[in-house]
Each structure stands twice: as structure tokens, then as C-alpha cells.
Chain A
Amino acid sequence: MMAVKSLVNIPALDIESERQRWNTIYKVLSGPKPDIESTPRKAVWKKNKSVLWYHPAPEKKYTTPLFLVYSLLNKAYILDISEDGSVIGNLTKQGYDVYLLDWGSPGLEDKDLTLDHYIYDYLEVAVKRALRHSGAKEISLVGYCIGGTLSAILTSFTDLPIKNLILAAVPIDYSDLIVPDKWVKAIQKGTLNFDRFADAYEVIPSEFLYAIFMGLQGFNIGPTINLVTRATDQKYVDKWRRMDKWMKDAVTFSGAAFKQMFNELYKDNKLVKGEMKIGGQKVDLANIKCSTLVITSTRDELVLESQSLPVMDLISSEDKTYQHVEAGHVSLCLTGMFAFAIDPWLSERSTKVKGI
């Protein structure tokens, strides 16, 4: 065997296989987007565009349910993208009852919704509803990306019985961002400001958020090349189609929340400084005393590890764990790997069903 493998490897061309490959690619690119089949679920509570979904475990092993909070800037169905192999699918198979708060996509009537509303009127009420629906005495809160920031803020002041807190790819410290240094400085100094933009649009269009995500990824030809390379693998093609649908299915965002996030987090970094106010009271992450797990991923292209790490020092929990897993920001959810990453930690801290 050669010590160094050549980059260029040209085997013999198989006409039939090639015909099939390009036929599939043509169908994928020109055909309609696939339907997403979720794991069995039931809507427990609805408010405005938000829905609280309940995914029961086929064989319940833990009485402590999970409450998943996804980002406000993307659609939550990435966590439940297929019945097989999704984060929720795996978690329910592991014996957890799962609740998922789907924020929905705000319309013009929601232009004044701020993070205060999202936390007090939606997240806290939804956790209360999940607790009542499950009949459990305690609940585990799992926040992903911005959902993690909101979960951490809620845990810092709520009286609700949150037993475990899991924060994955969570941006807490905004002093360092994924964008180039001069752009970070321009945002922090206020040179680059989106206030007028948010006021003019009232609700940030999904196209704008999609453009930002695309911009942050730069030259992103990887997925297309992967499709061409593995177009003969039908299972991969199906997964690729679902991922592609989710990527292009961007959400709108309330202008008021966008302004608040941009100014208080991206510009002034108030959460880490303890100056951020939600519902008139200062958010102090030191009030978090429950068992906490913080997860970051090695190839995260949207949230840097340095943005999540400071939360470990800010919280007062005696039982806190930090985990750095081999994945990307989206692939951690897409592959369903997230469920296996949290299960060993969570199973030890969840109350087991009697007789197991």
C-alpha cells in the first residue's frame, strides 16, 4: 500500500451507474421538496404560532421528561427530521418522554415580540404546561443554540422545578463571533447597526436570515459535492433532500427581538456582564444551581467554542459537565447524534420508572 494516497483516483466509468447517478441528481434538484415524517406526536398547547409537541416514549424508562428548546432563527423540525435517526426519535427510543417547543414563524402582528415575551409568555408557560401534562415533579430543559441562551435565562430566574439543564452549541459570550475581526469591532462600536433596518421591515424576512446563514458559510459546495458523490445511495439521498429542505426553509424573525438581540447581545454583550434585563429584572446566570451539561462541537461553523465556555464559570451549579463532541453545528442535530451525546449524562440524573 502506498504511504501517501493520491488525491486523484480515476477508476473505470460504469455507464449504467452514471446514468442512475445523474438521473437521481436531476430528480432531486428539479423535484418537489420531501414531506417530513415526524415521530408520533401530539400537540399539547398552542399559542399564536407556537406549538408545544409531546413525543411519548414507546417504552418509558424515565419519569423526568425532556423539554427541547430550539433556536428562534431556524425551524425546530431539524430535531425531528425523520422517524428514524432523528434527535427526538432516538431520545424517545432511549425511554424519555420528549416535549418540543416549536416557536413558529412570526407574522407582521408579532413585530413587537421581544425576548422578554418569548421567555415569559411562551417558554415559561410551555414548561409549566409540559409539567402539568406529564404529571412529573421535575423536568430536564435542553436548549440548542439561541434556544440554549433562552433556556439558561429562564432557568436563572424561574421557580419551576428544572432538574437538569443541557445547553448545546449555546452562544453566551458575544465578545468573539464567527465573522472577521473588523466586522466584530464595527458591530461592537455601533458602526454597523440594524435598528433602522429592523424598524423598516418590522418583521425580518426569512430571505434575509437565509442570506445571513449562507453568507456565514462562505463557499459551501460540500453538500452538493456530497450529493453527486453518493447519489447512488438512496438512504443518503433521502437524508440529503430533508436536510436541503430544512436549510432553505428559513423563518421570519420579530423586528423587536432582532433589535434586542443585536444591541444587547451582539453589540453590548450584556448577558455575560450581568447587565441584561428580562421582564425588568437583571439576568444573573449565577442563580443556575441545577445539574448542567454544556456541549460544543468541534466543527461548529456558527457558534464558537469560546462563546459557550464562559457559561461554565458563570453558573453556580456544583454538578456541571463540559463536553466537546466531534460534529458540526447542524450535523449534531441532523444525524441524531445529539441524543447519544447527552444520554449517558442525562440517564444518571433522571428519575427512573419504578421496576426498571
Chain B
Amino acid sequence: MSENNSYDSVRRVSEVWEKGLNGLLFQSIDNNPLIQITKLGIDANSRYIEMLKRNRELMANFMNLPTKNDVANAVKQTIQAEEKIDILEEQIWNLQESFALATEEQNKMLGEIIKFTKHIHSEWEKTTQELAKLAEMQNEFEAMKKLLQKEKKEKVQTAK
């Protein structure tokens, strides 16, 4: 705070006074009669408000007018609806999470099926290749067999 502020003195004096007065107030209200008066005041005020409310409801009833209570009751329905929407929203979240989990599991399973199919496919290819080799071998054997038979026939004819 500025040293030249002419109100600094006022502020400092007021702080001292405020503290002193508050101390005095604290001590002066610490007495039982004041508590009793407060109690009486609260009770009287409550009785007065109760009476006012009773009469207000009575009058409104005679005049067939809605009161603040009726409006409050109507609003309560809206609050209940809002609570139900919240609950529904949470249930939708749970469903969403369950779906997400299920999709994840499905994806995992699909991945495994694809992996397995790929494995079968490669095995199939291997078998096909081996089969082709075998067929080739068979052909070669056939050719060899034919050659042998041919040689045999030629030997017989020469012997004759």
C-alpha cells in the first residue's frame, strides 16, 4: 500500500476499532437470556410462517388456484424423469462397453480363425506340391517301367 495514501491511517485505526468492537460484541452476546430470546424469536417466527402457509393453502384452495407447492410437485416429476434418463444413459454406457468388449472378443476369435485358415491353406499348398512331386515320380516310374519292358522285349527278339 502506498505510504502517501491519506486513508492509510483511517484503515489502521478502523482495524483496531473493528477488532476491539468484535471482542466486545463476542463477550456481550455470550449470555443465556439472549439465547432464550433468540429461541423465542425463532419459535414465534416459525409459528407465524406455519400459520401463513396454512392460510395461503386454504385461500388458494377456495379460489381453486395452484400454489407454489403444486408447482414444486410438478417440478418433482421432471426431476424424477431427469433421474431416470440419467440411469438410462448409464445403462446405455454399460451396454456400449459390453458391446465394445464383445466386438473385441469377436475380433480376437476372427483373427484366430483367419490364422488357422492361413495355416491350413499353407499346409494344403505344401501337400499339393508334394502330391505333384509324387505324381511326377509316378510318371518317371511309369516311364522307367515302359523302358524296362521295351528292353526286355528287344532282348527276347534278339534271342530268337
Contact = CB atoms under 8 A, between A and B. Distances in A.
A11 interface: yes
Given A222-B15, A228-B10, A125 B25 contact: no
Range of interface residues on chain A?
Answer: 35 or more
A109 interface: yes
A109 B76 contact: yes
Range of interface residues on chain B?
Answer: 35 or more
Interface in B34-49: 35, 38-39, 42-43, 45-47, 49
B75 A220 contact: no
A182 interface: yes
Interface in B1-43: 1, 4-18, 21-22, 25-27, 29-32, 35, 38-39, 42-43
B9 to A, nearest CB: 5
Interface string B136-154: 0000000000000000000
A7 B42 CA distance: 43
Contacts of A229: 1, 5, 7-8, 10-11
Nearest to A8: B9
A182 B32 contact: yes
A325 interface: no
A200 B75 contact: no
A191 B79 contact: no
Nearest to B85: A47
Contact of A182 (B7, B31, B47): B31
B72 A225 contact: no
Interface string A189-202: 00111101101110
A219 B23 CA distance: 10
Nearest to B76: A109
Nearest to A217: B22
Contacts of B53: 200
Interface of A: 7-11, 13, 47-48, 107-109, 111, 121, 125, 132, 180-183, 186, 191-194, 196-197, 199-201, 218-222, 225-226, 228-230
Given A48-B82, A197-B42, 15 more contacts: A8-B13, A13-B6, A47-B82, A48-B79, A108-B68, A108-B69, A180-B30, A182-B30, A186-B32, A192-B35, A192-B39, A192-B42, A196-B46, A201-B49, A225-B15
